[in-house]
A and B are shown apart, each in its own frame.
Chain A
Amino acid sequence: MVTLQLDRVSASYGRQEILSEVSTPEFQGGQVVALLGPNAAGKSTLFRRIFGMLKGGGHVRITGARTATPVAYMPQDTGASAVLSVYEAVLLARMQGRGMKVQNEDLAHVDRALEELGIAALGERDIGNLSGGQRQLLSAAQALVQEPEILLLDEPTSALDLNRQLGLLTILRRLAEERQMLIMAALHDLGHALRFTDQAMVLERGRLITCGPTDQVVTPDLLRRVYQVEARIEPCSRGLPQLIVEGAV
């Protein structure tokens, strides 16, 4: 099974250090991990560092991977205006490093990724005139089609409507279990984190503040300290934890 562990991982842009010595316990395939933290905490930077687009101190330890490129990364910004259809844009992500010839299997994977994310009907649309949410789902499909063992998603739900947010998170949950995939997603909705993720790690100004099972990490105390909001967490009538925000501190 694939595992991911960060060992004193650092990163900087130029001379400015953005991440300092982020260490985590070992995450495993099948888990969904929430990457939490306020704006500019370094979440995107951490993803880039794990994916290898940024170099820096410390080690990103990945073990048990079946393939040479086990990690896929869905970046935060997804705007582009090339003359490509949605189908082509997903195929493109699939074909990198695979030679010129498109195999039936590749097309099957594209079809599956589009269907899984509920955007099969968009296949023929130009990527230039998608809505923000559609672009985000396309971006997720581009990551999924690579059949990753570790999937890094940078704010995958930020442009989605409520229904699609829940839809995407439910799919991710299912994929993690079905394919023993390790999914790490940067989320701003702590309620979603409580409901859909097993583990949570919280960044603040480039440092890891806490990391552990989500229900132990996301507490009124954390909300006050990191997000400066006053909130309660109570079980709803069906026993699910509910986050009730009372206001900014």
Chain B
Amino acid sequence: MSSEASVHPGLLGGRAYYRALVLRRQLILAGLTLALFLSLCTDLALGPARYGLEEVVAALFMPDAVSEQVRVILWDIRMPVALMALVVGASLSIAGAQMQTILSNPLASPFTLGISAGASFGAALGLAFGVIFIPAAVDYVIPINAFLMAMLTSLFIYALSLRRGVTIETIVLLGIAMVFIFNALMGLIQFFASQQAVAAVVFWTMGSLTKATWPKFWVTFGILLAVIPLLVRHGWALTAMRLGDTKAASMGVNPRRIRLEVLALVSLLAAIAVAFVGTIGFIGLVGPHIARLLLGEDQRFFLPGSAICGALLLSIGSVLSKVIIPGTVIPIGIITSLVGIPFFLFLVLSHRKSAW
């Protein structure tokens, strides 16, 4: 049935067409997952010591079959970083996908609402002046600063969106205003901070996975796992929101309620992701767009698709950050922007059928 479906889609009845569509999307999702696994293995294999893919796979599935040294390097040093790339990529991409959905704006992403900018400001306060919001282990002080500032930003936008008569355009404008305010504040910090501190701030804003540890991974992963079912629950409603508020409401959806709830959820996702790894551009914008091109906007496929595309992009970014200049790990945020933007432009321009 499926092969016929792809050859003569027009000749099939509606139900058969739909079944073929679902099958095709399941295959695409499976293909993306496979690509993700390959990228993860490659990421693990690369580093100061290079391993063959067979060795990595062996270490993954039969840890006893490889030497102690290989096991330690792969599992304790590289694995948290490689997995962090996946969960951060997935979190940012899901956040971007849902922001684009609820704000009806193809440019919406964790950046548009000032969440990344807020995180950078929080981190910069700590790095430059030692401002500490909550005392914690030294490894966590800056992430906590970044997280709290990012959440404060989203809370502010959330509170304003609660007011009557605030439209989605207003929300996007508010977000952009926040970005500019934080950029100005960052300038101020860098003006007054010591040279060393400025270097630390700049490095933080470039985004880096190298500080990832197992506990940080589990926190990020835990939040992602908690948020996904809450989004899935609104799957049909979120898809309906893409038809506009009136249409969604005519289908029994309460667009305002969904918008606020999802805004809160994805703010949390994005804030935790940027807090641990710094500013990583374009995943939250590009991931959902690729998923949309491949899988359409039915959330049952669009949501997992966005997650996997985001994870895949950041994992590939992590691989590239190690191979472009051998022996040097280029900050991942630079890679995603440098490689992500041209790739994104290529995608958009080569695909004439535009959704927006």
Which residues from chain A sit less than 8 Å from chain B, CB to CB? 51, 53, 69, 72-75, 77-85, 87-89, 91-93, 95-98, 100, 107-108, 110-111, 114, 120, 123-124, 126, 128, 139, 142-143, 146
Contacts and interface: CB of A to CB of B under 8 A. Distances in A.
Interface of B: 9-10, 13-15, 17-18, 21, 232, 235-237, 239-240, 242-244, 246-247, 249-253, 292-293, 296-298, 300, 353, 355-356
Contacts, number: 96
A88 B296 contact: yes
Interface centre among B10, B249, B251, B296 (most CB of A within 10 A): B251
A84 B298 contact: yes
A185 to B, nearest CB: 15
A82 B17 contact: no
B304 to A, nearest CB: 12
A108 B15 contact: yes
Contacts of A73: 250
The 7 closest A-B pairs by CB, nearest first: A82-B242, A80-B243, A83-B355, A123-B14, A83-B297, A73-B250, A111-B14
Interface centre among B14, B17, B232, B237 (most CB of A within 10 A): B14
A126 B351 CA distance: 14
A170 to B, nearest CB: 22
A contact patch SS: mixed
A124 B15 contact: no
Contacts of A123: 14, 17-18
Nearest to B296: A83
A100 B232 contact: yes
A242 B116 CA distance: 66
Interface centre among B10, B21, B243, B293 (most CB of A within 10 A): B243
30 contacts: A75-B247, A77-B244, A77-B246, A79-B244, A80-B242, A80-B243, A81-B356, A82-B297, A83-B292, A83-B293, A83-B296, A83-B355, A84-B239, A84-B298, A85-B21, A87-B14, A87-B18, A91-B18, A92-B239, A93-B251, A96-B236, A96-B237, A96-B240, A110-B18, A111-B15, A114-B14, A120-B13, A120-B14, A123-B18, A126-B353
A51 B244 CA distance: 17
B251 A142 contact: yes
A81 B14 CA distance: 21
A95 B236 contact: yes
A53 B166 CA distance: 17
B231 to A, nearest CB: 12
Contact of A124 (B17, B246, B250): B17
Given A80-B244, A93-B251, A88 B15 contact: no
B250 A51 contact: yes
Contacts of A96: 236-237, 240, 251-253
Contacts of B242: 80, 82, 84
Given A88-B296, A88-B298, A108-B15, A53 B235 contact: no
Contacts of B21: 85, 87-88
Given A84-B298, A123-B18, 4 more contacts: A88-B298, A96-B236, A100-B235, A126-B353
B111 to A, nearest CB: 23
Contacts of B243: 80, 82, 89, 92
A190 B356 CA distance: 37
Contacts of A98: 236
A97 B252 CA distance: 8
Given A80-B243, A88-B298, A107 B14 contact: yes
Contacts of B355: 81-83, 128
A124 B10 contact: yes
Contacts of B14: 87, 107, 110-111, 114, 120, 123
A123 B297 CA distance: 16
A82 to B, nearest CB: 4
Contacts of A107: 14-15, 18
A79 B252 CA distance: 18
